[in-house]
């Protein structure tokens, strides 16, 4: 890891629900309470769709889908013992073209 990468990682800010709702309220001219309700409703709708096996596609942003991961063998880091990791469902996010282009540094 280079010094530049370390410096970039230390300046990364994490945005939580509260900050996201605040930004939504400013952008959509809503109260912070209304924005928080809209955010929670959106997240709930995405969660419910994924639980039902649906794909959620937000054009320009990206898509969420549930994928089955294959079983695999792994190693327990504590005792170096080989273990079998079972298959399970995982949520995958694929960024859309506009989002990818927006975050790509040119």
pLDDT in tens, 58-67: 999 999 999 9
Residue 5 has pLDDT above 80, yes or no: no
Residue 8 has pLDDT above 80, yes or no: no
Q: How confident is the model at residue 105 (pLDDT cuts 50, 70, 90)?
A: confident
The closest alpha carbon to 15, from 6, 28, 24, belongs to 24
Q: How confident is the model at residue 52 (pLDDT cuts 50, 70, 90)?
A: very high
Residue 77 has pLDDT above 70, yes or no: yes
- Helical (H) or strand (E) element with 4: helix 3-10
- Helical (H) or strand (E) element with 37: helix 32-51
Strand partners, 62: 58, 95
Residue 96 has pLDDT above 60, yes or no: yes
CA 43 to the chain's CA centroid: 11
- Helical (H) or strand (E) element with 68: strand 62-69
Report the pLDDT value the prediction gives residue 11, as an integer from 0 to 100: 83
Residue 75 has pLDDT above 90, yes or no: yes
Q: Where in the chain are the domains?
A: 16-52, 55-106
Q: What is the C-alpha to C-alpha distance for residues 84 and 89, in angstroms, rounded to an integer? A: 16
Q: What is the C-alpha to C-alpha distance for residues 36 and 39, in angstroms, rounded to an integer? A: 5
CATH fit for domain 55-106, picks 4.10.520.10, 2.30.110.10, 3.40.30.10, 1.10.357.10: 4.10.520.10
């Amino acid at each position: 890891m280079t010094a530049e990468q370390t410096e970039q990682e230390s300046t990364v800010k994490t945005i939580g629900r509260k900050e996201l709702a605040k930004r939504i309220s400013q952008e959509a001219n809503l109260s912070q309470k209304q924005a928080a309700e809209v955010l929670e409703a959106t997240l709930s709708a995405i969660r419910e769709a994924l639980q039902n096996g649906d794909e959620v596609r937000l054009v320009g942003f990206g898509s969420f889908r549930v994928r089955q991961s294959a079983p695999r063998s792994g190693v327990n880091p504590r005792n170096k013992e080989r273990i079998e990791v079972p298959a399970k469902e995982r949520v995958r996010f694929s960024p859309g073209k506009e989002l990818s282009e927006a975050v790509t540094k040119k």
